[in-house]
Amino acid sequence: MKGAVLYAVGQPLQVEELTVQNPRQGEVMVRVAAGGVCHSDLHVMNGDLTAPLPVVLGHEGAGVVEKVGEGVSEFKPGDHVVLLWRASCGECFFCLSGRPALCDLGAGIRWSGHLADGTSRFSRAGQEIRHFAGVSSFAELTVLPREGLVKIDPEIPLAQAAVVGCAVMTGVGAVINTAKVEPGASMVVIGCGGVGLNAIQGGSLAGAEKIIAVDILDNKLAYARQFGATHTINASQVDPIEAIKELTEGRGADYAFEVIGNPKTITQAYRMIRRGGTLVVVGVAPVTAEVSINASSIMLEEKMIRGSLYGSCRPKLDAPRLLNLYKAGKLKLDELISREYPIAQINEAFDALRRGEVARSVIRMTSS
């Protein structure tokens, strides 16, 4: 079967024939229908985020169960599933407290590139190839832990289901689950890519009154308006902090969401919120980066800083809920998918993401 492999930082992906082993105990093999092209994969390709290499990239996807390993009774061949980039055990302190994104199971898989038994199912000519975040959706077939899948309504188109696996749960979740934005609030979203646009539509769902989108590209700001932004600011043309103050009676916004992963824009976002406001950091900066924040303001202005990992979601609850909102016409997924590429053109899909041309694109493995 075909898969897209990253062998070294700075190199393009190699699309090649790989061997995939059968699922073992507690694992599920999925025939991937669509894999979303997210900036986090690009961060790994350019070395801003690390992952054990070589690796089959892709951490957003949906598909159809092909085979199940021993002991798996909740899935059967033919089930439609969304793939999760943070599997969670359901039993630990974090899972029981409703914070499954913080479970050790998914983190272990992410940093080792191995499934839970410490091995990989992918290889090529005897060379081991790692999993990415336990998903590896840029492959025709992939193997996941049973805890990394959510069964979905088979009527949902699988490309639309795929983007729920990362962009939508991460972006909408940051607003609804992490920040719990209330009706009438003002909020800023810095970075209007695949994830940021979903923070914007999360703001619409929450009933925020002002949703201010900040980007450096006008085409991204046009997408932002389509997803519910009430105001847009091009940060390459005006000082975005001053512009936010003007739009919020000089106070600053109630909430700011940083959806890029850049220390400079994290600092900007902190300065955009009002006294007592909340900054939610969704993007991850390069591992050694530090953020500069005026120390006294934290206390004197009672500002809050929150991280949001995977939109603080509870995937088995949130994925079906989001897909129901899509079916009810209340969540934009069709509009999110700007382009579809065959796997042979995956490097072109990443070039388009680098150039800022798309809201989200997906790699299509099957036509369903």
Binding residues for Zn ion, rule: CB under 5 A, are 38, 40, 166
Q: How far is the CB of 4 from ligand COD (least distance, A)?
A: 17
Query: Which of 312, 58, 57, 43 shows the shortest CA–CA distance to 171?
Result: 312
Q: Which of ligand COD, Zn ion, none is residue 12 near (CB under 5 to 8 Å by kind)?
A: none
Q: Which of Zn ion, ligand COD, none is residue 265 near (CB under 5 to 8 Å by kind)?
A: ligand COD
- What are 274's two structure tokens? 């009002």
Considering the candidates 39, 40, 192, 361, report the single residue annotated as catalytic: 40
Sign of dihedral through CA atoms 343, 323, 73, 312?
A: positive
The CB-nearest residue to ligand COD is 193
CB closer to ligand COD out of 31 and 220: 220
Residue 309: count other Cβ atoms within 10 Å of its Cβ: 19
Q: Which of ligand COD, Zn ion, none is residue 220 near (CB under 5 to 8 Å by kind)?
A: ligand COD
CB closer to ligand COD out of 1 and 205: 205
Considering the candidates 39, 59, 80, 131, report the single residue annotated as catalytic: 59
Q: How far is the CB of 70 from ligand COD (least distance, A)?
A: 30
CB closer to Zn ion out of 40 and 137: 40
- What are 189's two structure tokens? 């979203």
Strand pairing of 122-124 and 127-131?
antiparallel
Binding region for ligand COD (CB under 6 A): 38-40, 43, 59, 85, 166, 170, 190-196, 214-217, 220, 235, 259-262, 265, 282-284, 353, 356
Q: How far is the CB of 331 from ligand COD (least distance, A)?
A: 17
Q: How far is the CB of 273 from ligand COD (least distance, A)?
A: 16
Q: How far is the CB of 4 from Zn ion (least distance, A)?
A: 15
Q: Is there a catalytic annotation at residue 40? A: yes
Q: Which of Zn ion, ligand COD, none is residue 193 near (CB under 5 to 8 Å by kind)?
A: ligand COD
CA 29 from centre of chain: 22
Residues 323 and 153 sit within 8 Å (Cβ to Cβ)? yes
Residues 126 and 141 sit within 8 Å (Cβ to Cβ)? no
Q: Is there a catalytic annotation at residue 166? A: yes
Alpha carbons 220 and 167: distance in angstroms, whole number: 15
- At 157, the amino acid letter reads P
Q: How far is the CB of 170 from Zn ion (least distance, A)?
A: 6
Which residues, other chains included, contact 117 with Cβ-Cβ below 8 Å and sequence gap of 6+? 24, 25
Between helix 39-46 and helix 346-354 the angle, nearest 10°, is 100
CB closer to ligand COD out of 72 and 133: 133
Q: Is there a catalytic annotation at residue 308? A: no
Tokens 């088979």 found at: 154
CB closer to ligand COD out of 72 and 266: 266
CB closer to ligand COD out of 264 and 275: 264
Considering the candidates 43, 80, 131, 231, report the single residue annotated as catalytic: 43
- At 26, the amino acid letter reads G
Q: How far is the CB of 290 from Zn ion (least distance, A)?
A: 23
Q: Is there a catalytic annotation at residue 39? A: no
- What are 311's two structure tokens? 């939109």
Cα atoms in the 13 Å half-sphere on the side-chain side of 356: 13
Tokens 């038994």 found at: 117
Considering the candidates 80, 95, 103, 166, report the single residue annotated as catalytic: 166
| H helix or E strand, kind and range, residue 128 | strand 127-131
Alpha carbons 63 and 77: distance in angstroms, whole number: 11
Strand-pair partners of 205? none
CB closer to Zn ion out of 26 and 356: 356
Residue 276: count other Cβ atoms within 10 Å of its Cβ: 12
Active-site residues: which are they? 38, 40, 43, 59, 166
